[in-house]
Structure 1
Amino acid sequence: MERYDDVELEGPASERDLRDLELRLGQPLPATLRELLLECNGVVDADGTDVVWSADQIGLKNSEFRTGGDFTSLYMPFDALMFFGDNGGGDQFAFVRTPQRSDVFVWDHENDSRTWVAADLGTYLHRALSHAGEDWYR
């Protein structure tokens, strides 16, 4: 992984943590996300934004999005997405899992849009960590 100033990397997740997460989600993690979580269980930028959540947070947030009453009544279904990070202002980043793709999309919490932002996790990390501000993808 490229080096960035003031980026906080959490300790690695275990294989067991990731197997449990995949069982909870009912789908495999993208290979690049799995590899990253085995190296560091979360990436926090200089502003304190969770660019990549921990394995536990990925499980909690995806369960909330998929089954939370407010979410299911207000927005299109989230079952095809696997959220893994946010911008600190309410928008969430996700992989499309049905069909499986390596692309990263952003879900806009204000209008329920899902917009492509990067071809893969590496490009997403580079862009998120090298541009200031929560709306770097616009």
Structure 2
Amino acid sequence: MWRQKIGRLYDDAEFAAPASDEAIDQIERLLGQRVPDELRELLRQTNGVRAEYESGLVWSVQEIIQENTEFRQSADFAELYMSFDQLMFMGDNGGGDQFAYIRVSAGRPDDVFVWDHETDERKWVAASLEDYLKRRAGADGDDWYK
């Protein structure tokens, strides 16, 4: 399902082999956050998607773990930015801004936000993973979310 949807939106989409449930469960264990159902389903079909000049539409399991861990543990980032503990980064625009789910009990679990690396602003951009992919595909330019 996800490969077909994404393939219709992005001519240059590159898919990886599917991720196992055990690999996806590592995200939850290492980050202490539940993986949204829609992201879990996508990762079961393709362990990450690249498009738009190799930008990470949706990161692989390893990239999700690595990037989130780095952001949360960086002393430099702790001095410069608000906490990243509530975010689960899952993609990027290729220029420094990153897309994430907000993982708090009061939030809507499928909403996607963008984190602006220059301003530390966190802004809603889509109501779901599918909505994020459609909005991104239908936009002109890299800064479609601004």
TM-score by length of structure 1 reads: 0.94
1:126 & 1:23 partners in 2: Cα distance? 30
Structure 1 alignment gaps of length 5 or more: none
Which one-letter code corresponds to 1:115 in the other structure?
Answer: K
2:85 & 2:65 partners in 1: Cα distance? 13
The superposition leaves residues 2-60 of structure 1 with CA deviations (integer Å, 9 ceiling, x where unpaired) of: 22311111111111101122101111101100110001111111311111110000000
Deviation beyond 2 Å, 4+ runs, structure 1 = 129-133
Determine if the alignment matches structure 1 residue 6 to structure 2 residue 12.
Answer: yes
Aligned-residue CA RMSD in angstroms? 1.2
1:68 & 1:23 partners in 2: Cα distance? 20
Residues 95 and 104 of structure 1 are in contact (CA less than 8 Å); yes or no, is this contact kept in structure 2?
A: yes
Which one-letter code corresponds to 2:143 in the other structure?
Answer: D
Percent same amino acid among aligned pairs?
52
The residue that corresponds to 1:106 in the other structure is: 114
Moved more, 124-133 or 27-36: 124-133
The superposition leaves residues 56-89 of structure 1 with CA deviations (integer Å, 9 ceiling, x where unpaired) of: 0000000011111111111000111100000011
Residues 47, 132 of structure 1: alpha-carbon distance in 2 compared, 3 angstrom cutoff: farther
SS of the aligned residue for 2:130 comes to helix
SS of the aligned residue for 2:90 comes to strand
Determine if the alignment matches structure 1 residue 135 to structure 2 residue 139.
Answer: no
Structure 2 alignment gaps of length 5 or more: none
The residue that corresponds to 1:84 in the other structure is: 90
Which one-letter code corresponds to 1:46 in the other structure?
Answer: E
For this pair of structures, how many residues does the alignment match?
A: 138
Residues 45 and 129 of structure 1 are in contact (CA less than 8 Å); yes or no, is this contact kept in structure 2?
A: no
Determine if the alignment matches structure 1 residue 16 to structure 2 residue 11.
Answer: no
1:51 & 1:20 partners in 2: Cα distance? 20
SS of the aligned residue for 1:78 comes to coil
